[in-house]
Structure 1
Amino acid sequence: DDARGRRALSLAVDRETLVRDVVCGGGQPCFGFTPDGAGYKTPHGVEFNPEKARALLAQAGFPGGKGFPRLELMTTSREVQKTMAEAIQGMWKRHLGVHVDIRSCEWTAYKFAQNSMQYDFSSSSWSGDYLDPSSFLDLWSSASGNNNTGWSRPEYERLLAESRATGDQEKRMALLARAEALMLSESPVIPLYWARRSYLKSPEVRGWHPLLLDNHLFEDISLGAPREQGKEAAP
């Protein structure tokens, strides 16, 4: 069935290689969709397991990739996106015997095709708007304007609704984790990696600290002489 086929494709992606060779360390191989943090424990629903991928693909009716439809992976025209698509294309061919074509689009055409769901696979990314797992998991609600996958499940909607109705934060996080585990098991999206940002900071900068949302207030930042060992320089 479709879920087994999608899950097989996800299991055939070597995320360690993508992070090392494509984004050159600018990320962390993911094991779920929502990053860990803010009291949330991401369920481990993503892995690289070619043997299991081949078994699932056979159960979906495509043993060794035979009979699998010729599909397209749509990307933007950015070079890193095209390189990523080529790497994934090679992994699916090598591990599953499945071939996909790559369609590189300029931004306007890419967004139109994605928003109107005129694609087979589409590269994409997401950054949380606020510090909570619901910023990621509400994406796949049927009511979300950002859900361009066509995927929805009543059980997923129920879990999200129940998480909004409880004031118990521990219970809420557990409900969201169950929702994410359900979504990952059906693989409407194939998470690849959690991005990282690198900064070059002068020793004179004070009050700048890494933040999950990367929303720095300049009123908290000052300049001062570089610290000497054992001494604190005044700003």
Structure 2
Amino acid sequence: MALKSRLFVTTAAVLIATSGMVFADAHATHPVTGEALASDQTFTYRVGDESPSIDPGLVEDVDGAAVVRDLFEGLYNQDAAGNLVPGVALSHEVSDDGLIYTFTLRDNAKWSNGDTVTAGDFVYAWQRAASPALASPYSWYIELMSIENGAAVIAGDMEPSTLGVTAIDDTTLEVRLSQPLPYFPQMLTHGTTFPVHQATVEEFGNDWVLPENMVSNGAYVLTEFVPQERLVRERNPMYWDNDNTIIERVVKLVVPDENVALTRYLAGELDMTDVPAGQFPRLSEQYPDQAVSVPMACSYYYMFNLRDGASPEIQDPNVRKALSLAIDRDIIVNNVLAGGQKAAYTFTHWATAGFETPDIPMATMTQADRNAMAVELLTEAGYGSDNPLSIDLVYNTNDSHRSVAIAISQMWKQTLGVDTTLANQEWQTFLEARSNGDFEVARGGWCADYNEASTFLDLMQSESGYNDSKYVNPEVDALLAEAKTSANPQANYDRVEEFIAQDTPIIPIYHYAAVDMFAENLEGWPYENFEQTWYSKDLYKISE
């Protein structure tokens, strides 16, 4: 594998040290672009809710992952185009049979307390992530990586020490797979694979992630955390590439209301915020240099609760398919959202690397024909004007989710006579409700952990940790298992997408675009990175 090197800023040209802090001089210029750098290198951005965790072994949401990438560094990072570049690992070799990866680690990687980052730190972190004792919502990722004995360790049938990862010495990490996995290196930029400092975790238990306790190895350290308000990270002087980092302070603010956040952005309080639903056309006209929309590796969908004992109405596949057909996705993306999103009839995002969108019959029908079929299917299921269907739909608190839910509930009412009760929940409560099966229909959003179709479709696997519908189809399981060792898995992916359209355990609604406002003086954002994997260390602010 060829690793591209990132263009780094020359410290002597743009940074000066003052009182232990390093920051850009107002008169310094970027050595590559020649741009004058701002004296204040603070990056402030908005999120809608607090993340459940910033523990690499427990992180499960997009906003939490961004924090974890700043605080911790794994084997590899991504560059602005999504290509792998060295992190703690400088390179790796693969055995001829594709089952053994040997990583060579840099010898100058340090923890924030000065300890050396070693191969043993990765062994500990991966064993911890897979262990039943941690009960990580992302433990299944270790199994997805095909790491030897991963499934047995997660199930509690084998000890974590048997996981196929070994520290040959401090700078050599060996990983053994149960089967070849061509995209295995791409999976190593996910937080679940990042190292953690064993002594700190064992000393402080759950409190090891607090600012006063945390020891991390990323470009930044955690200096302040006020739940549901703000999280601050600052430059880590022990980071191996600290000299080439410009942004010195990163502030994450929790602002639930998108419109309030936009107002604060326009007032200069934020450097980045989401564009509220429906406002991109106006904002892109008023602020053409600030409003941005690019494809993003996420899919928006509704899921049905298919557990035993769940609401009988939605156990009927005809009911589920009727509800899917009756959603006019073009209205959702063009009128409700209007930010460059695309209507979805497959779960896998259309721009996923190597994926060719299969022919799903519903996608080529007119909405009038979809509506007619929806009425027919719901009538066959026994519902109509004399016996209307009633369902509950839950989503996490967010104005855009609310707008989409209202529009879809109106479509269901107008086309099918369905009565929909809408309910919103705070993010962590919502995640717990979905995981526990405390819903009938729930909003879902899945962002790729790596740029390959399996990152979406593996959620349809019966034992997937995020198969919150509890959809079970042995044929789908077999297709996904076979795809992992196939030289060309497209046919398997096509068939899985066909099963999703046929059985409708979920309703794909639209494929995301990242629709944001960026301060005019903020540079370095990886717009071309399909996963929108960003690192604060790669950003900088120019003098206005």
Whether TM-score is above 0.5 comes out as yes
1:92: which partner in 2? 412
Deviation at 1:109, TM superposition (A): 2.4
Task: Output the CA distance in 2 between the equivalents of 1:183 and 1:105.
Answer: 27
Is 1:18 equivalent to 2:336 in the alignment? no
Task: Output the CA distance in 1 between the equivalents of 2:418 and 2:319.
Answer: 11
1:214: which partner in 2? 532
Give the 3-state SS of the residue equivalent to 2:451 in structure 1.
coil
Deviation at 1:144, TM superposition (A): 0.5
- Kept after mapping to 2: 8 A contact 1:133/1:176: yes
The one-letter code sitting in structure 1 at the alignment partner of 2:320 is R
- Kept after mapping to 2: 8 A contact 1:151/1:188: yes
Q: Relative to structure 1, is the Cα distance of residues 42 and 26 closer, same or farther in structure 2, using a 3 angstrom cutoff? A: same
Q: After superposition, what is the alpha-carbon deviation per residue over 1:98-157, rounded to whole angstroms, capped at 9, x for unaligned?
A: 111111222232122111011010011010000100000001111111011021111111
Is 1:38 equivalent to 2:345 in the alignment? no
Give the length in aligned residue pairs: 221
- Kept after mapping to 1: 8 A contact 2:391/2:418: no
Alignment partner for residue 514 of structure 2, among 197, 215, 218?
197
Task: Output the CA distance in 1 between the equivalents of 2:340 and 2:472.
Answer: 31
Is 1:187 equivalent to 2:501 in the alignment? no
2:458: which partner in 1? 138
Deviates more, 1:197-206 or 1:75-84: 197-206
2:262: which partner in 1? none
Task: Output the CA distance in 1 between the equivalents of 2:524 and 2:391.
Answer: 51
Structure 1: gaps spanning 5 or more residues: 225-235
Q: Relative to structure 1, is the Cα distance of residues 5 and 204 closer, same or farther in structure 2, using a 3 angstrom cutoff? A: closer
Q: Relative to structure 1, is the Cα distance of residues 40 and 65 closer, same or farther in structure 2, using a 3 angstrom cutoff? A: farther
2:432: which partner in 1? 112
Q: Relative to structure 1, is the Cα distance of residues 209 and 106 closer, same or farther in structure 2, using a 3 angstrom cutoff? A: closer
- Kept after mapping to 1: 8 A contact 2:523/2:539: yes
Task: Output the CA distance in 2 between the equivalents of 1:118 and 1:222.
Answer: 44
After TM superposition, where is structure 1 displaced by more than 4 Å over at least 4 residues in a row?
199-209, 216-224
- Kept after mapping to 2: 8 A contact 1:140/1:151: yes
2:378: which partner in 1? 57
Using the aligned pairs only, state the percent identity. 29
- Kept after mapping to 1: 8 A contact 2:322/2:375: yes
- Kept after mapping to 1: 8 A contact 2:526/2:532: no
- Kept after mapping to 2: 8 A contact 1:28/1:193: yes
Task: Output the CA distance in 1 between the equivalents of 2:402 and 2:374.
Answer: 24
- Relative contact order (alpha carbons < 8 A, sep ≥ 6): 1 or 2 greater? 1
1:228: which partner in 2? none
- Kept after mapping to 1: 8 A contact 2:323/2:412: yes
Q: Relative to structure 1, is the Cα distance of residues 66 and 157 closer, same or farther in structure 2, using a 3 angstrom cutoff? A: farther
Deviation at 1:68, TM superposition (A): 4.3
- Kept after mapping to 2: 8 A contact 1:29/1:193: yes
Task: Give the structure with the larger strand fraction.
Answer: 2
- Kept after mapping to 1: 8 A contact 2:479/2:496: yes
Task: Output the CA distance in 1 between the equivalents of 2:453 and 2:385.
Answer: 36
Deviation at 1:205, TM superposition (A): 5.6
Deviates more, 1:89-98 or 1:28-37: 28-37
Task: Output the CA distance in 1 between the equivalents of 2:485 and 2:530.
Answer: 26
Measured on the aligned residues, the alpha-carbon RMSD in Å equals: 2.6
The one-letter code sitting in structure 1 at the alignment partner of 2:460 is W
Task: Output the CA distance in 1 between the equivalents of 2:476 and 2:386.
Answer: 32
Give the 3-state SS of the residue equivalent to 2:434 in structure 1.
helix
Q: Relative to structure 1, is the Cα distance of residues 136 and 223 closer, same or farther in structure 2, using a 3 angstrom cutoff? A: same
The one-letter code sitting in structure 2 at the alignment partner of 1:197 is A
Deviation at 1:65, TM superposition (A): 5.3
- Kept after mapping to 1: 8 A contact 2:479/2:492: yes
Task: Output the CA distance in 2 between the equivalents of 1:130 and 1:159.
Answer: 20
Q: Relative to structure 1, is the Cα distance of residues 56 and 39 closer, same or farther in structure 2, using a 3 angstrom cutoff? A: same
- Kept after mapping to 2: 8 A contact 1:66/1:97: no
Structure 2: gaps spanning 5 or more residues: 1-314
Give the 3-state SS of the residue equivalent to 2:447 in structure 1.
coil
2:470: which partner in 1? 150
- TM-score w.r.t. length of structure 2: 0.38
1:82: which partner in 2? 402
1:162: which partner in 2? 482
- TM-score w.r.t. length of structure 1: 0.83
Is 1:129 equivalent to 2:449 in the alignment? yes
2:71: which partner in 1? none
- Kept after mapping to 1: 8 A contact 2:396/2:430: yes
Task: Output the CA distance in 2 between the equivalents of 1:114 and 1:132.
Answer: 25
- Kept after mapping to 2: 8 A contact 1:65/1:97: yes
Q: After superposition, what is the alpha-carbon deviation per residue over 1:42-77, rounded to whole angstroms, capped at 9, x for unaligned?
A: 224354411111111122222x35434422001112
